[in-house]
Structure 1
Amino acid sequence: MRKLDSLLAIPALDRASQPNIQAAIDGKAKPLHALGRIEQLAVQLAVIQKTALPAVSQPHLLVFAGDHGLTRSGVAAYPSAVTVSMVDTLLSGRASANAFARVVGAQVSVIDAGVAADLSDRRGLIHAKIALGTNDASEVPAMSADQAVSALLAGADVAMQAIANGANLICLGEMGIGNSSSAALIIHRLAPAPLETCVGPGAGHSPEGLAHKYRVLAKAAARTDVNEPIDVLAQFGGYEIAMMAGALLACAKAGVAVIVDGVICSAAALIALRLAPQAHDYCIFAHASVEPGHKIIMDALRAKPLLNLGMRLGEGTGALLAIPLLQAACGLLSDVADLKDVLEGSA
């Protein structure tokens, strides 16, 4: 547990430079506060990067993949085998996340956190598998507490390696059939919120399928009354969710901004920020998922996503689409003239 304690020992963000950064933005050739949230992003990135001229030069998307035992109880519209197929699609560079990453100049890494198949022969895959998927959380704990901690630390290691290789912005993404069910249970306990408000259609359910999904998750929730982050993660989580939480914590520990994708990534952020609230200042929430649980997380964390595009894909696609906004925020500080220079030039 000492490694976990060290990971959670995240210092508060040093905001000593914030007044100067804000003054620099206020002095640009534009009406005061006219660029709204772009100005807020500029301040956040400048403070995180400890520079008056922040940059998004090497964004890196980490896509964590894992399977969920809950799928054996019929909570998902697709079989777990789809997880393997999508991992292969991501590795081949042909998934939506790959296409978006090429547009914004982001590197993509795919991590086997706990896919229920042997992927040891996949070239280019980061092998961090804890187990061949989780247990069925409607019957037994999804994983042990030791496995939960191991997954947190493994995710932290992946993020720290990406940062060591030069990444100055980390995007979190995921792939895993059934993970919206795991996320709903996590939101239910850690937001907290009534379970029925946390359950959505995931990758696509009929009304009958959604009703069955809720019954299975209600059974899982009734099995235990845990409400502490590690316990909730062990009882209901997925290995990819645990690793994303660890990756977020590692980014904050290293002083690197992290973009959180939709509802599954936000559930991981909920775990991470319940463990280390001071990591919140390093988080940028990308887009408003149409899953009902996402708004519950945003309200619980007092966060507001940058985009609302009606998306529900995952893979980190929403996080990637937020990158141009961060690059624009950096450009505000580096490329926009100061108002005094404009006025002097017109005199």
Structure 2
Amino acid sequence: MRSFDEVAAQRARDRQNQLTKPPGSLGRLEELAVFMAGWQGRDRPELNRAQALVFAGNHGIVAQGVNPFPADVTALMVQNFAAGGAAINQICSVAGAELAIVPMDLDRPTRDFTQAAAMDMPEVHAAMSIGADSVDPKADILILGEMGIGNSSVAAAQAASVFGGRAEDWVGPGTGAEGDVLARKQRAVSTGIALHSPSTARETLAAFGGREQAAICGAILRAQELGLPVILDGFICTAAAAVLRRDDPEALAHCLIGHESAEPGHRRLIAALGMRPVLSLDMRLGEGSGAGVALMVLRAAIACHGGMATFAEAGIG
């Protein structure tokens, strides 16, 4: 696994202090530039190639009536992605990211985690391998997103398993659950976390699923091997990533959280991780949309860092 290059990061900080602005006046943009410098190992980081991966999967937990939409919507949305008609297509276009959609056995949902483990260990490993193999080693930044009817229930169960708390602390509306649907969602998550007691990342993925969450974890681990910075999307993506902390407290050191989702559990999850989102725009769409918007902010940070003149270059001072 690659580690953060403190020498490159310090050189980036030194450069920030020489640019034609009051020190610290670009706020978080300066921090983001230094973060990128440390992970890219150069004091002037670049964003020539951005990759966006959206993994899609289906879930047996849908049988518990936890979602107002049927599972076949997942495949229909994958078709919409392929046709260029989704929000993530538009965001990647303006943000300058190459988008790839990776369906994960959509005709074979994971098992209902209120009845049994969602996946067996070979299924977990296979999904993680797909995620790892999907990462472009030539990329400068990786954006991760997901699509899957029922996967906000999976995320709530994963978060509760890793950080504790009741189902009610983590379960939110997702794609619009309310009333009886929301109550069923809370009961399903309560049943799942009472039934399963995983202690490792892979056991957590096996217990609750889904394939797209396991692929996200595989992609994160591969990115860490490459020293490739990652932008995570909202609640579902962040909950998937969080299970890796069970094996390694520094597993997400190379990751940014793109935005704070409007999904209620995401703020609690961000606090539990001790991380800070780039944006807060009341988004809760998933599919990598918030992470894609965060990429635009990251591009602004790197453009200022690399393109601004120093006081000496500008003849000031």
With normalisation by structure 2, the TM-score equals: 0.96
Residue 190 (str. 1) matches residue 171 (str. 2): no
Structure 2 partner of 1:53: 44
- Take 1:108 and 1:41, find their aligned partners in 2: how far apart are those partners? 23
Of 328-337 and 34-43, more deviation after overlay is shown by 328-337
> Which amino acid in structure 2 is aligned with residue 315 of structure 1?
E
Within the candidate set 20, 34, 45, 1:43 is matched to: 34
> Which amino acid in structure 2 is aligned with residue 148 of structure 1?
V
Check conservation: 1:134, 1:238, Cα contact below 8 A: yes
Within the candidate set 227, 240, 246, 1:255 is matched to: 227
- Take 2:219 and 2:197, find their aligned partners in 1: how far apart are those partners? 27
By how many angstroms is 1:145 displaced? 1.8
| C-alpha RMSD of matched pairs (Å) | 1.4
Check conservation: 1:67, 1:83, Cα contact below 8 A: yes
- Take 2:132 and 2:263, find their aligned partners in 1: how far apart are those partners? 27
By how many angstroms is 1:138 displaced? 0.8
SS of 1:208's equivalent in the other structure is helix
Overall identity of the aligned pairs, in %: 36
Structure 1 partner of 2:141: 169
- Take 2:252 and 2:261, find their aligned partners in 1: how far apart are those partners? 19
By how many angstroms is 1:135 displaced? 0.3
Structure 2 partner of 1:266: 238
Structure 2 counterparts to residues 1-347 of structure 1, below 5 A: 10-115=1-106, 117=107, 132-159=108-135, 162-163=136-137, 166-342=138-314, 344-345=315-316
- Take 1:254 and 1:11, find their aligned partners in 2: how far apart are those partners? 6
Check conservation: 1:152, 1:243, Cα contact below 8 A: yes
Alpha-carbon displacement from aligned partner over 1:72-104 (angstroms, at most 9, x marks no partner): 111111100100100000011111110111111
Check conservation: 2:12, 2:37, Cα contact below 8 A: yes
By how many angstroms is 1:58 displaced? 1.2
SS of 1:78's equivalent in the other structure is coil
Check conservation: 2:66, 2:177, Cα contact below 8 A: no
Alpha-carbon displacement from aligned partner over 1:298-326 (angstroms, at most 9, x marks no partner): 11211011111111111101111011111
Check conservation: 1:25, 1:332, Cα contact below 8 A: no
> Which amino acid in structure 2 is aligned with residue 170 of structure 1?
L
- Take 1:204 and 1:289, find their aligned partners in 2: how far apart are those partners? 14
Structure 2 regions of 5+ residues with no counterpart? none
SS of 2:112's equivalent in the other structure is coil
SS of 1:111's equivalent in the other structure is strand
Length, aligned pairs only: 317
- Take 1:194 and 1:230, find their aligned partners in 2: how far apart are those partners? 22
> Which amino acid in structure 2 is aligned with residue 25 of structure 1?
Q
Of 264-273 and 69-78, more deviation after overlay is shown by 264-273
By how many angstroms is 1:259 displaced? 0.7
Change (3 A) 1:258 1:152: same
Q: Name segments (4+ residues, structure 1) moved above 4 Å.
A: none
Check conservation: 1:290, 1:311, Cα contact below 8 A: yes
Of 324-333 and 276-285, more deviation after overlay is shown by 276-285
> Which amino acid in structure 2 is aligned with residue 194 of structure 1?
R
Of 229-238 and 37-46, more deviation after overlay is shown by 229-238
Check conservation: 1:12, 1:278, Cα contact below 8 A: no
Of 249-258 and 294-303, more deviation after overlay is shown by 294-303
By how many angstroms is 1:151 displaced? 1.4
SS of 1:109's equivalent in the other structure is strand
- Take 1:58 and 1:274, find their aligned partners in 2: how far apart are those partners? 31
Structure 1 regions of 5+ residues with no counterpart? 1-9, 118-131
> Which amino acid in structure 1 is aligned with residue 28 of structure 2?
R
By how many angstroms is 1:269 displaced? 1.2
- Take 1:210 and 1:101, find their aligned partners in 2: how far apart are those partners? 32
Check conservation: 2:199, 2:246, Cα contact below 8 A: no
Check conservation: 1:187, 1:296, Cα contact below 8 A: no
By how many angstroms is 1:107 displaced? 0.9
Of 275-284 and 142-151, more deviation after overlay is shown by 275-284
> Which amino acid in structure 1 is aligned with residue 213 of structure 2?
I
- Take 1:175 and 1:61, find their aligned partners in 2: how far apart are those partners? 13
